[in-house]
Amino acid sequence: MSTFSAPKGTFDLLPPDSEAVLAVRAAMAAPLRTAGYGYIETPVFEDTALFERGVGESTDVVSKEMYSFVTRGDDHVTLRPEGTAGVVRAAIQHRLYAGTLPVKLWYSGSFFRYERPQAGRYRHFSQVGAEALGVDDPALDAELIALAMRAYADLGLTRVRLLLNSLGCRECRPVYRAALQEFLRGLDLDEDTRRRVEINPLRVLDDKRPQVQAQLTDAPVVGDSLDEACRAHYDAVRATLSDLGVQWEEAPRLVRGLDYYTRTTFEFQHDGLGAQSAVGGGGRYDGLSEDVGGPPMPGVGWALGVDRTLLALKAEGVEVAGVAGVQVFAVPLGAEAKQRLISVVDALRRRGIAADVAYGDRGLKGAMKAADRSGARWALVAGDRDLADGVVQLKDLTSAEQEPVPLSEVVDQLEKRLQQ
Ligand code: HAM
Does the beta carbon of 262 sit less than 6 angstroms from any atom of ligand 1?
A: no
Are residue 298 and residue 355 in the same domain, yes or no? no
Taking 70 as the threshold, does the pLDDT of residue 247 lie above it?
Answer: yes
What's the domain count of the chain?
A: 2
Q: For residue 284, give the ligand 1 atom closest to its CA.
A: 32
Best residue for ligand 1 mutational test, from 60, 89, 125 (most atoms within 8 Å of Cβ): 125
Query: Whose CA is closest to atom 1 on ligand 1?
Result: 281
Distance 83 CA to ligand 1 centre (A): 9
Q: How far is CA 33 from CA 15, 117, 132, in A?
A: 27, 33, 13
CB atoms within 10 A of CB 100: 8
Q: How far is the CA of 355 from the centre of ligand 1 (A)?
A: 39
pLDDT, residue 308, reads 97
Residue 366, domain CATH: 3.40.50.800
pTM passes above 0.85? yes
Written as one letter, the residue type at 36 is G
Cis bond leading into 102, ω under 30°?
A: yes
Q: Which atom of ligand 1 is nearest to the CA of 131?
A: 33
Of 316, 341, 365, the residue that ends a domain is 316
Shared domain check, 311 and 164: yes
Sign of the Cα torsion 125, 59, 293, 36 reads: positive
Q: Tell me how far the alpha carbon of residue 240 lies from the centroid of ligand 1, in angstroms.
A: 25
Give the Cβ contact number of residue 287 at 10 Å: 18
Is 341 found in the same domain as 251?
Answer: no
User: Are 254 and 400 members of one domain?
Assistant: no
Over residues 71-102, the pLDDT tens digits come to 999 999 999 999 999 999 999 999 999 999 99
Top mutation candidate among 11, 82, 273 for ligand 1, by most atoms within 8 Å of CB: 82
Asked whether residue 27 falls in the same domain as residue 127, the answer is yes
Same domain assignment for residues 242 and 340: no
In this structure, what CATH number is given to the domain that contains residue 163?
A: 3.30.930.10
Tens of pLDDT, residue by residue over 19-62, are 999 999 999 999 999 999 999 999 999 999 999 999 999 899 99
